[in-house]
Amino acid sequence: MSLNQLMALHQFLFSLESQEAQRLAWEDAEQARTARARAEAIAAERLRAMLDANPSGQLGDAKLNDFDALKRSGLL
């Protein structure tokens, strides 16, 4: 085999390896998209459950040791 033939063979094998790596990357990206869609659906369901449990929408406003709130409620 001449040097040119060896180089051509090497380039061909490298292109096959590169295509396989690209295929694996596409599969990984598809799995990531699926996992993200599943996580977003779960998060949306949890938000709906939280809003059903507390329909006023007052989620996340509570603070620990909020003395003004404790005084208003008569606990202090």
Neighbours of 50 (CB within 10 A): 13
**Lookup: tokens for 14:** 């490298």
Could you give the CA distance from residue 47 to residue 41 in angstroms, rounded to a whole number?
10
Determine the average pLDDT of the residues in 49-71.
71
Q: What pLDDT, in 10s, does the model give residues 59-68?
A: 566 666 778 8
The b/e string for 52-71 (b: 16+ C-beta within 10 A; e otherwise) is eeeeeeeeeeeeeeeeeeee
Residue corresponding to tokens 């989620």: 59
| 47 — pLDDT class (breaks 50, 70, 90) | confident
Q: What pLDDT, in 10s, does the model give residues 12-38?
A: 999 999 999 999 999 999 999 999 999
- Whole-model pTM over 0.85: no
